[in-house]
Amino acid sequence: MSRHSKSRAAIALVAAALLSAALATRVLAVSVTKPTGIEMPEKLPTLEGPVAVTSIGQAPGASWVKLLLIQLKIPVEHDDELTAAKLASLMKDPKRAPKVLIMAMGTSGKGMGGAGVDINSEVARCNALVAEAKKHGIFIIGGQIEGMARRTDEGDERSNKAVAPQSNMLMVMKDVDYDNYFTNVAKQKGIPIVRIVNSMDFKYPLAVMFDK
């Protein structure tokens, strides 16, 4: 087995472990009732699947987003190495063509090392994905679902700055907006923003937007 294959296998094991942990703690049973502390616009966009989910920084946040979408029975493809070329290929298949792209913000040094990438290549991949998504009218959501654990260093900031201004909508944990970075980007770009206290409560706005 090649080094790259071994890395992908390791990531797959981590994803499986996350799913097992979610099941064990009943994360998948999160209620779709409106959670306490949520802040969101009165009217959210109406969306439909399929959804493509990727991480800009190889952190596990995208895996959590996938779990919530699965629970809502929204068709989802999760690929943390999703490229513009792969997205273009998906668009050729009517059954798999994404109508929404969710890019999870935040970096993991271990994740990037295992995937053989760095923050420079992740930012470049993000920019290429955005360009391709815009060609096809795909709605882009920038999500920060892991809180302050993914806002601690330069890599996290570069992930945030690559994703947030290019999104059609932002969904973030309240604690990561301590300096109003995401609020200011939303105001400057006219982007609707949802703020959540508990990361698993991202399920509620997803349910609203996808009419679940």
Q: Write down the residue that tokens 């596990």 correspond to.
A: 60
Beta pairing partners, 154: none
pLDDT grade, residue 27 (50/70/90)?
very low
Residue 33 pLDDT: 86
Domain count, the chain: 1
Tens digits of residue pLDDT in 16-25? 455 444 433 3
Q: Which residue has the higher pLDDT, 52 or 149?
A: 52
DSSP helix/strand/coil, 183: helix
pLDDT at site 32? 75
Task: Please report the pLDDT score of residue 21 as a whole number.
Answer: 47
pLDDT at 30: 44
Burial class (CB in 10 A: 0-12, 13-18, 19+), 122: buried
User: Considering the chain, what percentage of its residues have pLDDT values greater than 90?
Assistant: 80
pLDDT the model gives residue 79: 97
Question: Which tens digit of pLDDT belongs to each residue from 69-86?
Answer: 999 999 999 999 999 999
Per the CB < 8 A criterion, the answer to whether 74 and 210 are in contact is yes
Name the pairing type of β-strands 100-105 and 76-78. unpaired
Is it the case that residue 206 has pLDDT exceeding 70? yes
In tens, the pLDDT along 85-135 reads 999 999 999 999 999 999 999 999 999 999 999 999 999 999 999 999 999
pTM to 2 decimal places: 0.85
Q: Is the bond into 192 cis (omega within 30 degrees of 0)?
A: no
Query: Do 207 and 32 meet the contact criterion of CB atoms below 8 Å apart?
Result: yes
Share of the chain above pLDDT 70, in %: 85
DSSP symbols for 91-150: TTSTTT--SEEEEEE-B-HHHHHHHT--HHHHHHHHHHHHHHHHHTT-EEEEEE-SGGGG
Domain extent, residue 46, equals 3-209
Q: What is the pLDDT of residue 86?
A: 97
Q: What CATH number is associated with residue 21?
A: 3.40.50
